[in-house]
Amino acid sequence: MARDFVLFLPLVLVIAGSLKKDSYQPELGVFSEQAWRYVDVVLVVVLLTATGFLDVPSRLKGQLGTVGVSAVALTTQAVLILAAIYSILRWKYGLPFAALGLGRRDSLYHLLWSLKIVFAALAGVGLLASVVFVVPAFVSGARMLVGPQWSWAPGQAPSRAPLIGVGTLLFYVDVVIVMPFVEEVLFRGFVHTPFLRKFGYKGGAIFASALWAIGHYPKPGRMIVAVITGLIYMYVYHHRQSLIPSLTFHSASNGLVTAVIGLLHIMDPKALVLTVTGTAAILWGLCSVIAGRRQAGGSARLAA
């Protein structure tokens, strides 16, 4: 009963929102070219609600397991949602899918800008974790890499990583790639301008983030995090006028959490902290160098 209510709640809210007349106009830029309307958002949310009841054939449930079945259902839903959005843009308005903020122009710049922030934040968190956990252990004489472990007994080798089945692999692909992409396309790219016309920038951002958070029910902590990150992603999308930064942040955060949880089963946490911190610092420097060279090359072409 609660699940059915949650599945229908976004649709009910979106339909209720349609009662309000448009009272804002998007500013110049990519948003002024996004001609699709609020009614198109309602149609996609109807499809989102209907596909929420999809069920996987019973013969696949035994082969893929619970995790794999969930991944197949979510991926099928994602494909249908993307196909619907593509059809609306292409056949109703004559717009390319890139109109959502995925244009090639400056795409590498937006990607590098986003990755620099991701790696800088990761390195900063790693440094803080090193100060809190690793350095005290080193000062007290503990062996950081081969001494007493946090996740297994002293003198006992870490357990081998469990074999990854097809279902688990599908789940990882879904969490790191498929769902971040479709969620950013729908809850940022597709709804932004119709919500902006209806509720204004702030009201539209809050409404879109609340709809996204409902999908994280029944975990209150995840719902709160979803609201906050949704507002951040919408702010980035609005001001950068590109979906690439928020998509990068979303995919990176999901990937990092998934990777850390998996690596904790086979690595000493202290070693993991040092490895992640060092790798993040190196990648941040690499992105900074590439971005600097591209910016210098662009300035040289303009001067010529």
pLDDT digits (tens, 9 = 90+) for 240-263: 999 999 999 999 999 988 887 777
| Pairwise CA distance, residues 286 & 298, whole Å | 18
276: domain range?
Answer: 2-303
Higher pLDDT, 133 or 128: 128
Quick check: 143 pLDDT over 50?
A: no
| Pairwise CA distance, residues 23 & 246, whole Å | 27
3-state secondary structure of 89: helix
- Using CB atoms within 10 Å of the CB of residue 59, give its burial: 0 to 12 exposed, 13 to 18 middle, 19+ buried: exposed
Average pLDDT over residues 201-214: 94
Q: Report whether 194 contacts 41 (CB < 8 A).
A: yes
Q: Report whether 200 contacts 222 (CB < 8 A).
A: no
| Pairwise CA distance, residues 134 & 275, whole Å | 12
Placement of tokens 């937006």 in the chain: 110
What number of CA atoms fall less than 13 Å from residue 200's CA on the CB side? 2
Higher pLDDT, 1 or 239: 239
Whether the upstream peptide bond of residue 218 has omega within 30° of 0, thus cis, is yes
Q: How many domains does the chain have?
A: 1
Average pLDDT over residues 200-207: 94
| Pairwise CA distance, residues 63 & 104, whole Å | 40
Q: What is the pLDDT of residues 61-84, one digit of tens each?
A: 666 677 777 888 889 999 999 999
Quickly state the pLDDT bin for 291 (edges 50, 70, 90): confident
| Helix ranges (DSSP H) in the chain | 2-17, 38-51, 58-87, 107-129, 135-139, 166-173, 179-184, 192-214, 220-240, 244-263, 269-303
Q: Report whether 36 contacts 186 (CB < 8 A).
A: no
Q: Report whether 268 contacts 145 (CB < 8 A).
A: yes
